[in-house]
Amino acid sequence: MNKIEIPEEKYNEIAKLIESSDSPVGIDAKKTHVIIIHKLMEIERRLSNLENNDVSKMKEIKPIISTDELRELIDNSGNYVLIDVREPSELEYGMIPSAINIPLDDIEFGIERFDKNDNLIFYCRTGGRSHQAAETAKRLGFFNSRNYKGSVWEWSKIDSNVMMYGPEPY
């Protein structure tokens, strides 16, 4: 793994901060030290994820999948994981076939069980939350993540088991 390079002036600033009692927002120096170390470890973990996924070899993935593309994947038992990010109380309106439910608030921990190379497709009611989920997944190293922007609102037009609900999307 690559070493993290910190410019000397930034290092000196951090060192002075750790040694002083004048820490930001009233946190004592030891807590500040722990926070800095934690942040550096998080950066190292993310760099490791990037290296393990070898970004340079990845094919370009369109960030949005259409209704036709999703239908083809489902009909042909394609290689994908379809994730409904709606709240459990919304599931009474139906789910797209083969989907699993991981509410948006649980996405970061909920997708840990998948491989970083899996083809993750997110949907919700109208595409807003699923967009957030796809971006979160990409930030965590799941670069093959896409948003089904049409979500339930569009899918309900081709599947009578899924119903439109709530206000019309913009």
All structural domains of the chain = 8-57 (no CATH), 67-155 (3.40.250.10)
Which residues of 24-147 form beta strands (DSSP E)?
Answer: 81-84, 100-101, 120-123, 145-147
Q: Is 119 a catalytic residue?
A: no
In this structure, the strands spanning 81-84 and 145-147 are unpaired
Task: Render pLDDT for 121-166 as a digit per residue (tens, 0 to 9).
Answer: 999 999 999 999 999 999 999 999 999 999 999 999 999 999 999 9
pTM higher than the cut 0.85: no
The one catalytic residue in 99, 107, 120, 124 is 124
Task: Render pLDDT for 87-131 as a digit per residue (tens, 0 to 9).
Answer: 999 999 999 999 999 999 999 999 999 999 999 999 999 999 999
